[in-house]
Structures are given as C-alpha cells and as structure tokens.
Amino acid sequence: MQKEKYYYELAYLVKPDLTEVELKELTEKVEALCSKEKAILKSETAKRIRLAYPIKKQKEAFFVFVHFHAEPETVISLKKELADFNQIIRLLIVKKRVVPEPPVRLTPTEVKTPQEEQSIQQPVQEETTEPKEKPKKEKKVKEPAKKKVSMEEIEKDLDKILGE
C-alpha cells in the first residue's frame, strides 16, 4: 500500500545580513531538501520584513515560504536538517490537509439536463426560515401623575377611617 503524501507549508526567517547570492544559495538548498521527492508546488521569493519583536537579536529578516508535498517521515528529517542551518533564525512547518485526488471529468452521458442544472441553481430561500426576531420588551406605561392632595383632605380621610 502506498503511503499518503500530505500538503505542507514551510515558512522560515533568514538573517538579514546575507547577500543576495548567499540568500539565493540558501533558498536553493532548502528547496533541494524539500524536493527529495520532486514535490515542490510553490516557492515564494525572499522578502525583507521588519519583525514585530526581536528574534535572536535580529529586528529584520528575510521571509521565505515554500509549499510542498511529502510523507510525514520526510518532514521530520527535514526539520532536523533545517535546524542545523545557522542562517535560519526561525522556521515553521504546517501540515495543511491530505492531497485530494485529481478531479474526475464527466463523460457526455453524465452531463446533467437543463432541468437538473436549473434545480441546482435555484436559490435555497424556500427551504430556509427567516431568523427569529427577538421579542421586544414591553415598555412600561407610565401612569399619569396624580394630583397632589392637600393636608386638609388627608385629615378628613383619616377622620373617616378612624371614625371620629
């Protein structure tokens, strides 16, 4: 059974004091290590960047990015080999996902009819429900202000209650 190859991204920072020739040689060495199985997908040229914080007393560095396919064992050995390079101040290898199989082309008999395509292209609005609205809080109705009662009226009411 053939082992699966995974999609990896390698990002590394290189010391800024390298010349263009030295930088190019280093990137070629790294790409050669990544492409043991001839699986490099994309390699971006080095860009000089300012670091957010100093790394190994460096405030700037060259940032290089490589996309490649490899087996997990190859990546482990690659990381160990890259750690030995003095010019690389930081590196990160990220496993992205399993490599998908190439897309299968449809034969003319498998092509969908216009009605089927139309049903696929119809919006899904019929099936979706509208989001529920939050119940609005009922505002408390303020009672109209009562008339001020005079002291004389209060005394009369007290007399009635007490029965005097």
128-162 confidence digits (pLDDT tens): 555 566 666 677 777 777 777 788 888 888 888 88
Tokens of 17: 């004091």
103-116 confidence digits (pLDDT tens): 666 565 555 565 55
User: For residues 30 and 64, is the Cβ–Cβ distance under 8 A?
Assistant: yes
Tell me 37's DSSP state: T
Distance separating alpha carbons of residues 8 and 37, to the nearest angstrom: 13
79-104 confidence digits (pLDDT tens): 888 888 889 999 999 988 655 556 66
* Domains of the chain (ranges, CATH numbers): 6-98 (3.30.70.60)
**Residue found by looking up tokens 């010391």 in the block:** 15
